[in-house]
Structure 1
Amino acid sequence: MDIDLSPEDAAFRDDVRAFLRDNLPQDVKAGAASTPSVFVEPEIGQAWNAVLHAKGWLGYQWPAEHGGTGWTPLRRYLFEKECAAAGAPNLTVLGLKLLAPVLWTFGNPGQKAYYLPRILSGDDYWCQGFSEPGAGSDLASLKTRAVRNGDTYVVNGSKIWTTHAHHANRMFTLVRTNTEVKKQAGISFLLIDLDTPGVSVRPILTNAGDHEVNQVFLEDVVVPAENLVGEEGQGWTIAKFLLENERGGSCHAPKLCYDLDQIEAAAQQESDGKGGKLADQTDWRRRVAKARLGVNALDMIELKIIADIAKGSKPGPQTSLTKLLASNLRQEIDLLAVDTFGIAGLQLDMTRPLYGDNAPEDIHSKAAQVAAARYLNSRAWTIFGGTNEVQSTIIAKSVLGL
């Protein structure tokens, strides 16, 4: 695999780097650095989205015909890498990276024309209604029902671990429209306005003190039949398509590398308790080297997938490998951060947000303040988007042929 950049791609990278230097607001960067979770609050994420939208770069993974940049897979990677290196916040993934590809692949012309521009403009903020009590890893067992009644569906059930449902105005969700067929064949993909009567959102607070996820209750919620994406019974196919994008539609290595760089820089100032600096301590350096090797290996795998996509291949089941490796590395690096700051890394202020004028006063440093919360939050990495066990099974069956 040739990973040397052409002069044109190198110039593109330099343009992105210059744009980030001149246009990434410092308060947005500081907010991202002080956010424990992978999902930044809308006041940070949407502010950065607006900057990129004005530039025409927000839909950087989108085809040009749908309002995106039409960039090559390599340029999408370079953009993500430079954003990570600059400390920019993660983009609002649920609408931009998960729902949008579903709409332009399976949606009808009216759905594309209405929803895609609203995702880019920020008029719609989406959440994902997949998991249910009793239907997490075994998603095909979901029980939320949608019964056709003329030109509408009547939906009853609940969804759980619904990220940012308390901020969202719309939810894309899987519902059961047929109970007489194989369970995967009876699932459909539906768009729901969260302002509809019968929808209620109950917060779930994490051990880190974050209000990130929720349970959404649906009681006799009337949804227009025109909000069905694809055909009835096609929801399982659409969900698999979406999950492949979720697991392999982004590059995790650049962000992990950035966080590891920040930890190494902090260790230059931290005492090893023996009169020296932690950065010079052999065991600590060994842990950093192990994590660095893992990140570099992940980077090569992601670049290989990008090269395959550039040749016309789909992301495929190998994206489960990147999800598995990224999840484990995320947890390893977050634990390293806690250990780097010692006692100061154990502080767990439950006040949110940890940025801005009303943020609680930190002990030692902002990086130390967020370390424990980020460590606790990243426990979910090996669960959401498919558990480590699920990813290992997919790799064994679909990649290794076992």
Structure 2
Amino acid sequence: MSGSAEPSLSDMLRESAHDFLSGSHAPSRLRGWIGRPRPVERSLWKDIAALGWTAVMLPEELGGSGLGLREACALSEVMGERLFAEPFTACCVLPSVLLAAAEPRAENGSAELAEWLVNGTRLLALAWQEQVAEIEPAALPACRVEEGVLSGRKQFVIGCESDSVLLVSASLDGQPAVFAVAADAAGVHIERFASGIGAQAHVTFDSAPLLFAEPLHSGAKASEVILQALAAGRVSLAAELAGKATGCLRQTVEYVTERQQFARPIGSFQTVQHRCVDMHIEYLLATAAWRHALSCYEQNPLVAATQAAISAAKSRCAEAAVMIGKQAVQLHGAMGFAEEVDIGMYLRSALADSAWLGSPLAHRRRFATLGAEQGEAQQLDPDPAHRSASSDPRDWSDEEFRARLRMFLEEHYPANLRQNDRRPFLRLRGDDLNGWLSLLNDHGWRAPAWPREFGGMGISFRKQLIYQQEMERAGVGRIIDNGETQLGPTLMKWGTPEQQAYYLPRILACDDVWCQGYSEPGAGSDLASLRTQAVREGDEFVVSGQKIWTTHATDGTHIFTLVRTGKFEKKQQGISFLLIDLNAPGVSIRPIANIAGEDEFCEVFFDSVRVPASNLVGELHQGWSVAKALLGHERIWLGSAAMASSALELAQRLVTNMDLGDDAGVLDRLGRLQADLHDYRLLYAQMCDHIAEAHGEPGPEASVLKVYISELLQRITEFNAEIAAEYGGVVGDVQIGDLHTDLHWPLMMARPVSIYAGANEVQRDILAKLVLKLPSPPRAG
């Protein structure tokens, strides 16, 4: 008996947080504070202390809940969504890391500080920043402790109330240390100012007395703990920003769905729908980024790979929340400019959180410095003695799977077919493609996503991602195999046992090479308008009509196609899914040269072609359902980051060879592209996991992948051509230093990626209707 998984502790915390904040915290209480520093609402702070939120990360021996950053982020995400304005990250997450790592001694006050945090009686606030735009704490702070008093200045401190306790980084005898100082002590001067929907402060210490005689931390430990606290705070803040993006987007979708203009909901206008879809994509990227950063933090918070992931998440979540806030104001019209609705507060809050603990620009630069691919340089164990005795890759660990595949590729993939600077988007075709796929099949490396019972590898989505990564790493040419990626999964769901038994082995052996016949002249993305006819005559269909933009039809032996078999009220009805042999009498193919000089597209003509009725897949007239499922699989395949990765590797070479390594503008643009690809890979992996949970059936959300990666690929290839100066206008090979490449070919080949398999505008329409549930445009006539 199967059932849904038990909810995690994080899920339960999210649910309880929503319940509490929906009943106890209305954003309306935040209005009227523009330009004035709003104080912490103490009664509300006491309430969340009673719930255990203030000490959620504090160890049980200090009176806390003994939970971790994952549970804290569950709370901060909901707080962002509900526009909760109290300083949870600043006054709970950051201090908890410092207290949890402190040696419990009466002289350093750790127990008393923990009690204040648990009970919510006094706010604890970390004061570490000394310079504007400071992202890494100073090795030796300028604030100093001499003869038991503190002098210096800290900036942008959150949670600095009159009775707060400040945890201050300072120098003591030439070593870093962390001391507790009462905010109301003599010699403490606080300059509070409005920030977002709360307040920050600059604090000057003029021989201020210490609250406890000894520091919480000193020496190298002090520096390490502050770094860890900032890491935790940035992940929590990223989750809160993603929550703000969620809440703002939800309110905007509700508003445009209800708001009428020109006698129709404004959410039915395509421009509005596409803006909402782009907001939704940014939210998805942000969520994937902070959840990945959280997982990295839980493994090791201070290694470079984790710090890079955290910077990527802070940057992405900040920009997503600000972008969604700005778009929300626009879509709300004049109402968005009024304080009596929440949208403006979402934007103000996002702007403040975006800047705190490091701006998006600073974190993108930090991400680029730490290395965009820190997490993928695995050291593999080459010793066969350490491997599993099983020949089934499902039994291997992920590390062993990667090592075995890498060794196979190094040994068997032809060197003359590797992608390189000259051929960054190399596509395998004809005999090269079929020879490589047959070799994979012979060695058991074919069809990683297919179940074992159908001849595939049957491996997990995690191993499938490793499979893609290693193919990329080895420079394997791009593979267009419609039989494996599209038709195979379709036959597994819709085909008869006889069709499965006949066609699936032939796909794996490359006996049949398939192309897709969907688009027609005048019916590109509008598949419901197709006109190719299939008339039933006995045990055959007679097919007449034309398909266009059929990729690699000249290399194929068969085509799976949509044909009209009947006329019904709805255009989507009366369409059937048919398998046709391209060598059948009456089939002719004409190649079409594209703007890159390739002949990969073709027209396919059917002149009374006779097709066995047994080649019908699914029910007669129900091909639309089959086609939609197939397109979902296609968009997952098109969502691969392989082409964008190759283009970005070329970008890095170009920056070096064009002597642009000191150009801050170019490096910032390159850093953004690196971060975009990094975050996209996380989203791709996350969505593949969701598909696995849904038993392999991609939903309409898969259109997000196709939209984002195609436009990212175009941005990268355009960047390459632009920074190459005059070389960017050359058609054909160029030599730039030791780099021999062709910039024009990938630039042109990137253009149709946002068109085929359904233009991105159509994909945005799908997402608006099926994911965001926005109202449909009125029918013409």
Q: TM-score normalised to the size of structure 2?
A: 0.47
2:399 paired residue number = 10
Q: Give the corresponding residue for 2:116.
A: none
* 1:379 match: 751
Does structure 1 residue 261 correspond to structure 2 residue 633? no
Tell me what 1:279 maps to: 661
CA 1:47/1:367 → structure 2, altered by over 3 Å: closer, same or farther? farther
CA deviation after TM superposition for structure 1 residue 392, in Å: 1.1
Query: Match for residue 574 of structure 2?
Result: 186
Hey, what's the Cα distance between the residues in 2 that align with 1:32 and 1:124?
32
TM alignment of 1:150-299, pairs within 5 A: 150-249=538-637, 251-270=639-658, 277-299=659-681
Q: Which residue does the alignment assign to 1:354?
A: none
Name the residue aligned to 1:273: none
Partner of residue 331, structure 1 = 714
Deviation at 1:316, TM superposition (A): 1.1
Q: CA deviation at 1:85?
A: 2.0
Residue 302, structure 1, aligned to residue 302, structure 2? no
Amino acid at match of 1:302: Y
Structure 1 residues 255, 99: closer, same or farther in 2, change over 3 A?
Answer: same
Is 1:58 equivalent to 2:440 in the alignment? no
Does the CA-based 8 Å contact 2:438-2:509 persist in structure 1?
Answer: yes
Corresponding position of 1:133: 521
Bigger radius of gyration, 1 or 2?
Answer: 2
Aligned to 1:34: 423
Secondary structure of the structure 2 residue equivalent to 1:214: strand
SS of aligned partner of 1:88:
coil
Moved more, 310-319 or 195-204: 310-319
Tell me which stretches of 4 or more aligned residues in structure 1 moved more than 3 Å. Answer: 1-7, 30-33, 365-369
Quote the Cα distance in structure 1 between the aligned partners of 2:712 and 2:590: 31
Q: Distance in 2 between matches of 1:312 and 1:65?
A: 19
Q: Which of the numbers 478, 486, 494 marks the counterpart of 1:98?
A: 486
Of 66, 69, 74, which aligns to 2:457? 69
Letter of the 1:190 counterpart: L
Out of 339, 350, 363, the residue aligned to residue 734 of structure 2 is 363
Tell me whether 1:109 sits opposite 2:460 in the alignment.
no
Structure 1 residue matching 2:515: 3-state secondary structure: strand
Query: Are residue 23 (structure 1) and residue 412 (structure 2) matched?
Result: yes
Report the number of matched residues: 383
CA contact (8 A) 2:488 2:504 kept: yes
1:394 matches 2:777: no
Moved more, 280-289 or 234-243: 280-289
Distance in 1 of aligned mates of 2:412 and 2:635 = 29
Distance 1:250 1:159, change over 3 A: closer
The one of 439, 453, 466 equivalent to 1:78 is 466
How far apart are residue 65 of structure 1 and its match? 0.5
Q: Distance in 1 between matches of 2:476 and 2:425?
A: 14
The corresponding residue for 1:311 is 693
Cα displacement (A) at 1:7: 8.8
- How well do the aligned residues superpose, as a CA RMSD in angstroms? 2.3
Q: Output the amino acid matched with 2:753.
A: W
Number of the residue aligned with 1:352 = none
More off after superposition, 100-109 vs 277-286: 277-286
Structure 1 residues 380 and 337: CA distance shift in structure 2, 3 A: same
Give the partner amino acid of 1:188: S
SS of 1:183's equivalent in the other structure is coil
Question: Identity of paired residues, percent?
Answer: 39
- Residue by residue, what CA displacement relative to the aligned partner does 1:287-319 show, whole Å, maximum 9, x if unpaired? 211211211221121111122123235321111
**CA deviations over 1:199-250 (Å, ceiling 9, x no partner):** 1111111111110101111111111111111110121001000000011246
- Residues in 2 aligned to 1:32 and 1:91: alpha-carbon distance in whole angstroms: 18
CA shift at 1:257, angstroms? 2.7
8 Å CA contact retained: 1:302, 1:322: yes
Quick check: 1:77–1:251 contact (8 Å CA) kept in 2?
A: no
**2:448 and 2:458 in contact (8 A); partners too:** yes
Amino acid at match of 1:230: G
- Distance in 2 (CA, whole Å) between partners of 1:67 and 1:109 is 14
Q: Distance in 1 between matches of 2:431 and 2:652?
A: 29
Deviation, structure 1 residue 260: 0.9
**One-letter code of the match for 1:100?**
G
Asked whether the equivalents of residues 192 and 223 of structure 1 are also in contact (C-alpha less than 8 Å), the reply is yes
Look up the SS of the partner of 2:516 in the other structure: strand
For residue 152 of structure 1, report the CA deviation from its aligned partner.
Answer: 0.4
- Cα distance per residue 1:258-297 (max 9 Å; x no partner): 4312320343222xxxxxx123322221221121121122
Change (3 A) 1:368 1:345: farther
Q: Which runs of 5+ in 1 are unaligned?
A: 271-276, 350-361
Q: C-alpha separation between the residues in 2 aligned to 1:22 and 1:262?
A: 25
Specify the SS of the correspondent of 2:476. Answer: coil
Rounded to whole Å, the distance in 2 between the matches of 1:142 and 1:187 is 9
What is the CA–CA distance in structure 2 between the aligned matches of 1:60 and 1:108, rounded to whole Å? 22
Alpha-carbon distance change, 144 to 251 in structure 1, aligned in 2, over 3 angstroms: closer
The structure-2 alpha-carbon separation of the partners of 1:31 and 1:144, relative to structure 1 and needing over 3 Å to count, comes to: farther
CA contact (8 A) 1:40 1:90 kept: yes
Code of the residue aligned with 2:767 in structure 1: it is I
Q: Distance in 2 between matches of 1:70 and 1:364?
A: 44
